[in-house]
Amino acid sequence: MNNIPTLHQKVFRIISDAAGELDCPVYVVGGYVRDYYLNRLKEGVMDLDFVTVGSGIALAKKVADNIEGSSLAVYQQFGTAQVKAGELELEFVGARKESYRKNSRKPIVEDGTLEDDQLRRDLTINALSWSLNKENYGQLVDPFEGMKDLENKIVKTPIDPHQTFDDDPLRMMRAIRFASQLDFRIEEKTFEAITEMAERINIISKERIIDELNKIILSDQPSLGFTMLFKTGLLKEFFPEMHELHGVKEINGVRHKDNFWHTLKVLDNVIELGADLWLRWAAIMHDIAKPPTQRFHEKAGWTFHGHDALGAKWTKRIFRRLGLPLDERMRYVKKLVRLHLRPIALVSDEVSDSAIRRLIYEAGDDIDDLMKLCRADITTKNDYKQVKYQKNFDYVERRIKEVEEKDRLRKWKNPLSGEEIMDALNIKPSKTVGDVKDAVKEAILNGEIPNEHDAAFNYMMEHKEDFLNNG
């Protein structure tokens, strides 16, 4: 336990003393211990987990009494308690054994020993713990050779994987998530068990599944996790649209790229360009509708016309089913999916400023992320084509910058308000107000007038009679 942050050392001592007074052995458990040995302890880790052979609630109360200014939250139903002290969040639970009925998400929980508690852990590398008891303070408890698995970069279950995954099928997702995050290999028997039991993931709530999936997506190279999800059959169970991307058809000797592996490459590429969770989701979704739009033409070969529009249409349905948010984050992903083919269509020197304006207007503040997605979408292994396509996007970005500096459309708002239109035309709220706004917008996007209030007002007054007669 060398190089432990001073704050954590002090807390460990306080907990050790409290456990000694209550005569209930206590241990540091969870990712903290694992990450310590992997040299992955992040600066400022504030969430710490503890198991006691006794009442976790009683120990938490004692610890809270010994830390000035702390607060206590008790979750009697689960037999757990949390102590908050500044930014620290200390979770306490009594050692227990836990199992799941065959078709239930709710475990049967009983009090248990430390060994029972470790047996219910999902992976050997997560069953490591440190004793905080005076007789063996700081001693590593490693009943399943988790340290050996850390050294060999192996993910496996502490007991028979079928039993581990039968008790809680989400552990299959967690095994893949840790393998993806740590760049570890899943042990053969564990991998086989996931493959055999993949259908059992369906009893797990979508909220728990998406939490694990998002952690895979946020790993440094999520293609590793998605490859394992695909090969085990888990992906097909909860995200069939992505699974359906796999496969290559051939007609008259003409083939197309495998859209599943292409999507994973785009996902890894966009991370290198700087991508948060939702830009990564846009990469996952950008070609999601290619299978139903796939057609073969004698001259053109394989085409996927309309997959951008259909993919955008699918986004809300897929987000709802997976348990993802249906707010502005979903709308952001939907927008990028819909627009992801547009920039490459602007490569020609003859493309008008109007076309550039419309892209800026539609993408808004997300234009930079759209361009990242488009660059990431270049997955050709041909060096010449790679350089050529990247130069094409350099050109498009220069055009966007030029037009943006001139027309200021990124955060565009109509120069004319509804009130101003009604006052100037002496009309009441009506369809005419919307018609005026649409006409002004189109005039600006087409370059007929500059993006300025006075120009917009004059344009409205010049066409006043047309608006009133058509209203």
* Rounded Cα–Cα distance for residues 369 and 336 (Å): 8
Report how far residue 212's alpha carbon sits from residue 234's, in angstroms, rounded to the nearest whole number: 12
pLDDT over 70 at 111, yes or no: no
The torsion angle over the Cα atoms of residues 108, 113, 118 and 119, rounded to 10 degrees, is: -60
The DSSP bridge pattern shows strands 26-29 and 129-131 to be antiparallel
Question: Among residues 50, 59, 58, which one has the least CA distance to residue 27?
Answer: 50
Q: Quick one: pLDDT at residue 435?
A: 87
Kindly report, residue by residue over 413-459, the tens digit of the pLDDT. 788 888 888 988 888 888 888 888 888 888 888 888 888 888 889 88
Predicted confidence at residue 99, as pLDDT, reads 53
Closest CA relative to residue 392, chosen from 359, 349, 362: 349
Contact status, residue 16 vs residue 133, Cβ threshold 8 Å: yes
Tell me the domain boundaries of the chain. 1-149, 274-407, 418-470
User: What's the whole-model pTM score?
Assistant: 0.83
Higher pLDDT, 235 or 166: 235
Distance set, CA 46 to CA 16, 43, 108, 212, 339 (Å): 18, 9, 30, 21, 41
Mean pLDDT of 297-311: 86
As a whole number of angstroms, the longest Cα–Cα distance in the chain is: 93
At residue 426, the pLDDT reads 85
pLDDT (mean) for 188-198: 97
Topology adopted by domain 1-149:
Beta Polymerase; domain 2 (3.30.460)
pLDDT of the residue at 301: 81
The CA distance from 122 to 119, in Å, is 8
Judged by DSSP in three states, 311 sits in: helix
φ, ψ (nearest 5 deg) of residue 352: -75, 160
Most confident of 82-96, 132-146, 243-257: 132-146
Q: Is residue 62 pLDDT above 90, yes or no?
A: yes
149-185 pLDDT, tens digit per residue, is 999 999 999 999 999 999 899 999 999 999 999 999 9
